[in-house]
DNA sequence: GCGAGATTGTGAACGGTTTCACAAATCACG
DNA sequence: CGTGATTTGTGAAACCGTTCACAATCTCGC
């Protein structure tokens, strides 16, 4: 284990391994080999071992990995070993789906507060929470101390919300708005774009490669 | 432009360029250089040009790219130039957010039918649609002819739904359930996992590298 | 206690994407 | 029409992540 920076894909897979391990744990399985993890995760055994090697040595040669042990380790790595409060901004459809999302709990992720700028919504209940005024976000997070925030507002408001989240002390933002966010260097952003995902699928869904080369260039005329 | 397979990351970025171009178009801008696209998308100019080069030549040296022209080309590439019907399975929170998602329209993506297996829900309105029995999905899609499907059901039901979608003729699946789906080779799956995204952010949100090496291996004892 | 069998951790090879750098193309303007 | 400034498209180089292959480690049964 050399002191390299951990690749993002590795971190993403870590969350997958964790899910597999939690399932196995629930099923009462005590030990799993990298081979078996491959079967359950679809990720190659070699990849799994390499991923873990960034963080240390967690298995026993000839045996495999202790399920409860590895769960603990991965949770520690991902900082999911203690409750991780999250600020949600945007009490619309997506926000609603998120507060109702049942799987957060198992990973100790908890939406600790919801904000919106719509005066009609402020004060109304939202899941177990009450919608608060976005203007008070900094003040509220002084209590909560959340480092994670979710942006579930329309694109045109997203940058402003991002600025507020950063000011409130958030260093990780999950962004559902289809916009590029400008944030300070120490803040991490991950974008979730349904459109992007569907666009990629749309491309693949039709296999005939209808190339549009020459035409395309000519199409440019109307713009110049 | 050689006849290479297009990298997935390129396709993902194509959707981003398209968004930037649509914004520019709305603002009345007629021409954009790769440099300007970089400014608006956060993706390097060289990357942009390389991405487009997989599909042909769309720009004019010394000038840049015609905004309306390039919009058309990218839409054609991504098969977003004509309406793309989508089957949604799962009339829960996430499904609800999706039918209410306003940005699909601009990309000609349309959720054409919603399915669920809950008898209480079947027949009820859902957005502009009526929830239909999942058992009839194949029959219904014989009419619609959708090639894209969205899985927004609990993890334990996801594989079964995937099988039904494939049988109904879908070749691209957007999966919101936290499970690995097994599908035939010709079917493409893209997973959206809030947990995974938040886990990655959670890792980065705390910068102190608390390594847990030796301990971890020992922690394994309780499992073996 | 020892040999057979299993599985890990990791350096090295590989393959694919991104970045670089520059020739070719286009336009503006005198 | 020719020169200079601009920008594209793309081969080559650099970079990064994945796959491979094997020595080191551990367990089990005799």
The more confident residue out of B215 and A26 is A26
Give the Cα separation of A172 and A150 in Å (integer). Answer: 9
| Cβ contact, residue pair A216, B57, below 8 Å | yes
The full DSSP string for A174-188 is EE-SSSPPP--TT-E
- Cβ contacts of residue B180 below 8 Å, gap of 6+? A16, A40, A41, A42
Contacts of B19 in chain A (CB under 8 A): 178, 195
Interface of B with A in 74-113 (CB under 8 A): 76-80, 84, 86, 92-94, 96-98, 100-104, 107, 109
The more confident residue out of B1 and A49 is A49
**Alpha-carbon A55 to chain mean position:** 20
Q: Is the CB of A62 under 7 A from strand D?
A: yes
DSSP collapsed to 3 states, A101-169: CHHHHHHCEEEEEEEECCCCCCCCEECCEEEEEHHHHHHHHHHHCCCEEEECCCHHHHHHHHHHHHHCC
| Domains by residue range for chain A, with CATH | 8-77 (1.10.10.10), 84-195 (3.40.50.720)
Give mean pLDDT in consecutive 10-residue pieces for chain B, a chain of 224 residues: 78 97 95 96 97 94 95 96 96 96 94 97 96 97 96 97 97 96 94 96 71 34 30
CA distance A151 to chain B (A): 12
Q: Which residue is nearest to nucleotide C21 (CA to C1')?
A: B46
Report the residue of A100, A169, A203 to disrupt the B interface, i.e. the one with the largest count of B CBs within 10 Å: A203
Q: Which residue is nearest to nucleotide C19 (CA to C1')?
A: B46
Output the pLDDT for position A126: 97
The three-state secondary structure class of A85 is: strand
The more confident residue out of A216 and A194 is A194
In this model, does residue A206 exceed pLDDT 80? no
Interface of A with B in 159-178 (CB under 8 A): 171-174, 178
């Amino acid at each position: 284990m050399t002191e390299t920076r951990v690749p993002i894909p590795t971190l993403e897979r870590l969350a997958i391994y964790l899910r597999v391990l939690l399932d196995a744990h629930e099923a009462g399985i005590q030990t799993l080999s990298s081979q078996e993890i491959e079967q359950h995760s679809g990720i190659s055994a070699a990849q799994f071992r390499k991923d873990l090697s960034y963080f240390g040595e967690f298995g026993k040669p000839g045996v495999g990995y202790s399920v409860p042990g590895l769960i603990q380790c991965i949770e520690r790595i991902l900082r999911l070993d203690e409750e991780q409060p999250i600020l949600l901004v945007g009490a619309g459809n997506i926000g609603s789906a998120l507060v109702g999302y049942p799987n957060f709990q198992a990973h100790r992720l908890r939406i600790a507060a919801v904000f919106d700028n719509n005066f009609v919504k402020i004060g109304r209940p939202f899941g177990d929470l009450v919608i608060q005024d976005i203007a008070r976000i900094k003040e509220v997070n002084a209590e909560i101390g959340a480092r994670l925030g979710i942006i579930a507002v329309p694109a045109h408001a997203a940058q402003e919300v991002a600025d507020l989240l950063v000011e409130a002390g958030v260093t990780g933002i999950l962004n559902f708005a289809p916009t590029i966010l400008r944030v300070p260097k120490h803040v991490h952003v991950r974008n979730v774009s349904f459109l992007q995902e569907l666009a990629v699928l749309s491309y693949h869904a039709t296999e005939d490669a209808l190339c549009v080369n020459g035409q395309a260039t000519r199409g440019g005329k109307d713009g110049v």
